[in-house]
Structure 1
Amino acid sequence: MKKQHFLVKQMPPEEIELEKKRAELSILEDDLALKELDLTTLQVVLEDLRRRYLRIVGVKLAQLDGIEAQIAEIIARLDPKNEEVKKEADRRRTQAQESADATGSIAAEEYEAEPFKPSEDLKQLYRDLAKKVHPDLAPDEQARERRHRFMQEVNQAYSERNEDRLRSLLNEWENRPDSVSGEGTGAELIRIIRQIARVHNRIEAISQEVENLKESELYKLKMRVDETQDESRNLLVEMAAEIDGQIEAAIARLKNISQRVEKTERSRTKQRDSKR
């Protein structure tokens, strides 16, 4: 009886390489989606803290700066020939205006008292969308631009904690055709290699962005806020209370110096009248 020989069809080398690259890209997609989530969450958390700081502490500082500016201007009136005093009054006036500008827009906006804390469902939705939509996974520049615009909508919905909007965006993306130019294993392999390179570059850029954010004064404030929160304290409220004390002291100084000015001006008026 003759032995039967079975031929095992072997994949061409380019198809083997393509499968390897697909697997590599799949792992990178997960990593990229997670890192984008971490970066976006940190950005939103810091922006939320910035707004809370301006609303709770910043408005107090603006008030204090305004009072200090009034004091400096009165001192300048008392000694009009003193250039240093005039410069200090100008500096105080500029600082007061900058503080007022920084807090003015915040005061007019709607404000959520609760800090940004995304739910696990919200974060999972974001990861799913980032894996599918991320611009660095686009097959060409036209698709990349389209994905970039779509990802902006995703980020906006995430920052607003709008799960319904994220689900709607996910459904919209999954039901739209994504054009792919070029056919065959070779073209697909080139596209995936380029995607892998872009993803690597983006992951490195994200790491740098996160490092830069963690070196910022706002992040240092966040760490202090988190530490005091663990102690059942509210650092921003404590800072505002401390500034309230400074405001009271500044008001007292303003009142005192205003009285001195009035007294000085009355004295000068009497002297002028006596010389007539």
Structure 2
Amino acid sequence: MASLAITRHELARRRGQLQELQRYLALLEADHDGARARLLGFRQRYLEALGPLMRELDALEGQLQQATATLSEALRRQGVEPPPPAPPRSRPWPDIPALPAATPLPPEPAGPLADLPPPSLKTLYRRAARRLHPDLAPSGPARAACEQRMAAANEAYASGDRARLEQLLLAAGEPAEKVIGGPADALRAWLGLCEHLVQGRIRVVQAQTLALHSLQMHGLRVAVERAEAGGMRPLDIMAARLRAQIAERRQELYIGERVGGDARLAADFLRRRHQQLAGPGPG
């Protein structure tokens, strides 16, 4: 039977690898949390500076949407197909979720480590001799049984049949850790599971960080902070643009509410409105 033992050296090496993975994971999590904190702080500053203006603009957009829907229906009643409505623009402040909770690593299996590697074939044979030698048994059936088992042990040792020696020893009451080498399988399974969990967590953190950096708000933060580092006031510029857009929307709403009786003017208004919504967003 092939040995499944994990030696002391291999155990130390695997533990070291696991610790390296955990240190790398901790760095990734710290980088993610720092980036998320910066993004949350910027979003708060952004909304404090521009939120009231954006809400006012959104309210006007809602009124314009209702006005264009009314005009579109009026054109259809007159046999004119209006331009298709464009979807409303999305705002760059989506939810910024925290990392999901990590699955805790299971505790390391407890057990004696003195006999961690499985004993050699010769060691097993010597233990079999101490357990099974007929000289150690009383006369009678017990001695005869020992003679049979010892003969089987001799044969197994001569042929290198480790599995048979192990079976004989376990049947004779030898402790399992002295036959198969202690908690080797449990330690190997524990190390494999821990490595799997940490590597999976690394992939989660990397994916979440990539998603964080792909947010529109992240690109906006980088651009704004770069401009501020150069002495500019980009949020003030954005606020001025929003005020200009609010004035334009008020004028559009005024016009949209008064062109309903003229199909040509209504169609022109809807076409401009469609082009405006389908174009690039502000800021």
TM-score by length of 1: 0.50
Question: Normalized per residue, which structure has more helix?
Answer: 1
Rg larger for: 2
State the structure with bigger RCO (CA 8 A, min sep 6), 1 or 2.
2
